[in-house]
A and B are shown apart, each in its own frame.
Chain A
């Protein structure tokens, strides 16, 4: 069993046949931006790209500005889509829906070289262009074999994994696509969004079932008051889950809740059960090293020492505590950026003389804390600035509030404390 689509099982033979057929529709080499919304089609696209020798591109967002940068990075890039309406400015390959019908052709399981570059995953970087991170097939699969063991999926039963996260996000790619592929479990093709959708998607697949989700979706699911179908495991990532919410999820679902810690650069590297301990348990072979204020991860599936943008306190050879994020970093709903990048984008708008984003005050547990921005731009109104920002940055980072001010509260040395920006916003 490889997947479930609308409750119907998809067998490995069907998948291989779909991969072969889609592969024939893809270019012979180059790069592919896979925006398929259906997780099964995304997975077929990812596998077809691998077999064909194409590299999958996973940008942090799809604003026109980022697509233009992607094109500069990979001029041969094509866009694989399963939507009739797709306004991405790249040559388009439509997912051949016929590939899912028709008798499966017997195909041998393709062998992929472990060193093959499978994907470029991008982070937004600190200024202009997105920063590419190379993902080889072998390292990603090695990471997911550890994850399957740490989640205790085992091999005696076939799990069905239902995910509320898109497959184009690093956590979604790992936990909802590569994890089932690497460990022989089945992925749910859907991308349930509303609490009622999540319940229906779970109920449509056999047990044992795992729900791959985030604090935002879990909070909504619990708050909906809906009667939940039986769930055997809940996995959360993208942001730490408040302990009380974690306890409520475990109680309502009657299942363990495990959190995964990782980053776009490193992939998943640690797990914890928050109702039992605040300590994270590192993947075997992965080690953390402090260099001044900064922490680097290396070993295991990680190819070179890689900085983690969190405040980390090692508590043992394979354990650590998280104490929040580096102040510069922004993470909203699993999307990552930095104040430097966002400020750069804001200040590149014609007519903006000075402007700075700031972290809003933290909301209650599970609530999404948005950014605010103070802008000096005589002659522009807030709507015009917001429209310009929308072309450049992901909508989750759009400032609320966006305040027009006469000047920014810079100190005598030109610094701009976050607290001063928040105070200015509170007074306005």
Chain B
């Protein structure tokens, strides 16, 4: 049992990011009433268009969740907004770098 756990253990940073990625997936599914299970959203699957099929109304909803949960205010002109929403992983990395709570 403990052997299994130690095999699964990862460096603290990436483990934290993996947790955050899963947490974000759950928050997105809940906020948008999506039909998918959070675990089924691939970390590199596009959120927009052909991937998860989100549109700008959804993105605004996710921005609200992210600001409430992590204190991150998204800006269309800051960084590369397209990149932030390219995938769950990118969003998690951005939130991780800018979170205030």
> A194-B63, A224-B64, A400-B33 are known contacts. Are A216 and B57 too (CB-CB below 8 A)?
yes
- A39-54 vs B, Cβ < 8 Å mask (1 yes, 0 no): 0000000000000000
Q: How far is the CA of A401 from the CA of B36 in the complex (A)?
A: 10
Q: Is the interface of B mostly helix, strand, loop or mixed?
A: loop
Q: How far is the CA of A411 from the CA of B50 in the complex (A)?
A: 35
The answer to the question of B1 belonging to the interface, with a C-beta cut-off of 8 Å to chain A, is: no
Are B34 and A400 in touch, CB under 8 angstroms?
yes
> A192-B76, A194-B73, A390-B49 are known contacts. Are A333 and B63 too (CB-CB below 8 A)?
no
The answer to the question of B101 belonging to the interface, with a C-beta cut-off of 8 Å to chain A, is: no
> A197-B75, A197-B76 are known contacts. Are A220 and B63 too (CB-CB below 8 A)?
yes
Q: Which residues of B contact A196 (CB under 8 A)?
A: 73-75
Are B60 and A395 in touch, CB under 8 angstroms?
no
- B69-92 vs A, Cβ < 8 Å mask (1 yes, 0 no): 000011111000000000000000
Are B73 and A193 in touch, CB under 8 angstroms?
no
Q: Which residues of A contact B40 (CB under 8 A)?
A: none
Are B50 and A390 in touch, CB under 8 angstroms?
yes
Are B35 and A220 in touch, CB under 8 angstroms?
no
Q: How far is the CA of A401 from the CA of B60 in the complex (A)?
A: 20
Minimum CB–CB distance for A220 against chain B, Å: 5
Size range of the chain A interface in the assembly: 20 to 34
> Residues of A at under 8 Å CB distance from B?
192-197, 200, 216-217, 220, 223-226, 332-333, 368, 386-387, 390, 395-396, 398, 400-401
Q: Which residues of A contact B53 (CB under 8 A)?
A: 386, 390, 395, 398
User: Which one, A217, A224, A396, contacts B73 given CB within 8 A?
Assistant: A224
Q: Which residues of A contact B61 (CB under 8 A)?
A: 220
Minimum CB–CB distance for B42 against chain A, Å: 13
Minimum CB–CB distance for A37 against chain B, Å: 11
The answer to the question of B56 belonging to the interface, with a C-beta cut-off of 8 Å to chain A, is: yes
Q: How far is the CA of A195 from the CA of B67 in the complex (A)?
A: 10
Q: Which residues of B contact A332 (CB under 8 A)?
A: 57
> What are 16 inter-chain pairs, A to B, with CB distance below 8 A?
A193-B76, A194-B73, A195-B63, A196-B74, A197-B76, A200-B75, A220-B60, A224-B73, A225-B67, A386-B53, A387-B50, A390-B49, A390-B50, A398-B53, A398-B55, A401-B35
Q: Which residues of A contact B50 (CB under 8 A)?
A: 387, 390
Q: Which residues of A contact B76 (CB under 8 A)?
A: 192-194, 197
Q: How far is the CA of A332 from the CA of B53 in the complex (A)?
A: 16
> A386-B53, A387-B50 are known contacts. Are A194 and B35 too (CB-CB below 8 A)?
no
> A224-B67, A400-B33 are known contacts. Are A195 and B55 too (CB-CB below 8 A)?
no
Q: How far is the CA of A283 from the CA of B35 in the complex (A)?
A: 44
Are A395 and B55 in touch, CB under 8 angstroms?
yes
Are B57 and A223 in touch, CB under 8 angstroms?
no
Q: Which residues of B contact A368 (CB under 8 A)?
A: 57
18 A-B pairs besides A194-B76, A333-B57, A395-B53 with CB distance below 8 A are A193-B56, A194-B73, A194-B75, A195-B64, A195-B67, A195-B73, A196-B75, A216-B57, A216-B60, A217-B60, A220-B64, A223-B64, A224-B67, A224-B73, A225-B68, A395-B49, A398-B55, A400-B33
Q: Which residues of B contact A396 (CB under 8 A)?
A: 55, 57
Q: How far is the CA of A195 from the CA of B74 in the complex (A)?
A: 8
Are A226 and B73 in touch, CB under 8 angstroms?
yes
B 32-62 contacts with A by CB, 8 A: 33-35, 49-50, 53, 55-57, 60-61
- Counting from the closest, the 10 A-B pairs by CB-CB distance are A196-B73, A395-B55, A193-B76, A194-B74, A401-B35, A197-B76, A220-B60, A196-B75, A194-B63, A368-B57
Q: How far is the CA of A196 from the CA of B60 in the complex (A)?
A: 11
Which chain A residue lies CB-closest to B34? Answer: A400
Which chain B residue lies CB-closest to A367? Answer: B61
Q: Which residues of A contact B74 (CB under 8 A)?
A: 194, 196
Q: Which residues of B contact A333 (CB under 8 A)?
A: 57
Which chain A residue lies CB-closest to B35? Answer: A401
Are A194 and B60 in touch, CB under 8 angstroms?
yes
Are B60 and A193 in touch, CB under 8 angstroms?
yes
